[in-house]
Amino acid sequence: MHMEACAGQASSAHIVLVHGACLGGWSWFKVATRLRSAGHRVSTPDLAASGVDPRPLREVPTFRDYTKPLLDLLESLPSGEKVVLVGHSLGGVNVALACELFPEKIAAAVFVAAFMPDHRSPPSYVLEKFSSKKFVEGRTLDWMDTEFKPQDPEGKLPTSMLFGPLVTRAKFFQLCSPEDLTLGRSLMRVNSMFVDDLRLQPPHTEARYGSVRKAYVVFKDDHAIVEQFQRWMVHNYPVDEVMEIDGADHMALLSTPTELARCLADIAVKYAA
């Protein structure tokens, strides 16, 4: 991206950072530190069965259950307070749900290399498109040693997912330091993409989700949700602003945190003012 577009001016906003699948609020530690140093208030909630949340995945049967810690945070905000809501990876789907339920509490939604639903299709649409071999040039994620397992014989609970060491190194953390890779591997937890549940949900509405201002930050060296697919999502559901970061892998939260924090600070100042 052009760095002059992400200067991170001095102002204060409440920024809520939402993690991706198998991760936790910990994944934002570098970005959160930089944003707080710039004077912003930052929240990094752990979604259900993630980070240090004590619940096992089997106690989180739906995507809304998974999102509940974020929804509780938004519901607890004082009347009139608005946040800049940022989602990474699968966290974009959590952000979309939050926008649908609490549009009046969100100054802007920022999708960083994140799945971004539209308001025409069920929220599962972008996840299913991502997994489809029909996507342009077949550039879908090679899941490599990711483990997908049923949680119960009846198939009533969502299929569990855990990224293996090979896919983590090659597709998610390929530009991160060995230390960050070790940290990430040690803190990952079994999660789910909740596709079957999301397929049953109605599309988010134009009146609520569609009313929230949106920005997208493209990670140009992402080997997980590749740049081509990130740009397809923006084409599918245009946003108010698109930024991009060169040399950013899927875990740019760790590999290029200064650049990402500048982008988020820039967006926060612009939309939360």
**What residues are annotated to the active site?**
89, 222, 250
pLDDT computed for residue 134 by the predictor? 52
pLDDT computed for residue 137 by the predictor? 47
For residue 8, being part of any structural domain is answered with: no
Number of compact structural domains in the chain = 1
For residue 9, being part of any structural domain is answered with: no
For residue 234, being part of any structural domain is answered with: yes
pLDDT computed for residue 1 by the predictor? 36
For residue 7, being part of any structural domain is answered with: no
Q: Which phi and psi (to 5°) does residue 105 adopt?
A: -100, 0
Using CA atoms, how far residue 132 sits from 81, 137, 233, 259, in Å, is 40, 11, 14, 31
User: Read out DSSP for 68-130?
Assistant: HHHHHHHHTSPTT--EEEEEETTHHHHHHHHHHH-GGGEEEEEEES-----SSS-TTHHHHHH
For residue 4, being part of any structural domain is answered with: no
What single-letter DSSP state applies at residue 191?
Answer: B
Angle at alpha carbon of residue 190, lines to 184 and 195, rounded to 5° = 115
Host domain of residue 261: 14-272
Task: Give, for all 273 residues of the chain, the pLDDT tens digit.
Answer: 333 344 444 578 999 999 999 999 999 999 999 999 999 999 999 999 999 999 999 999 999 999 999 999 999 999 999 999 999 999 999 999 999 999 999 999 999 999 999 999 999 999 999 987 555 444 556 889 999 999 999 989 999 999 999 999 999 999 999 999 999 999 999 999 999 999 999 999 999 999 999 999 999 999 999 999 999 999 999 999 999 999 999 999 999 999 999 999 999 999 986
- Is 253 in contact with 264 (CB distance < 8 Å)? no
For residue 168, being part of any structural domain is answered with: yes
- Is 222 in contact with 228 (CB distance < 8 Å)? no
Task: For residues 123 and 41, give the distance between their C-alpha atoms in angstroms, rounded to a whole number.
Answer: 29
- Which distant-in-sequence residues (6+ apart) come within 8 Å of 116 by Cβ? 92, 96, 126, 214, 216, 233, 234, 237, 239
Measuring CA to CA, which residue among 54, 49, 46, 55 is closest to residue 26? 46
Is the pTM here over 0.75, yes or no?
yes
For residue 233, being part of any structural domain is answered with: yes
Distance of CA 201 to the CA centre of its chain: 19
For residue 146, being part of any structural domain is answered with: yes
Sign of CA dihedral 71, 60, 196, 251: positive
Q: CATH number for the domain including 244? A: 3.40.50.1820
Q: Given strand 41-43, what is the order of strands in its sheet?
A: 41-43, 14-18, 83-88, 106-112, 214-219, 241-245
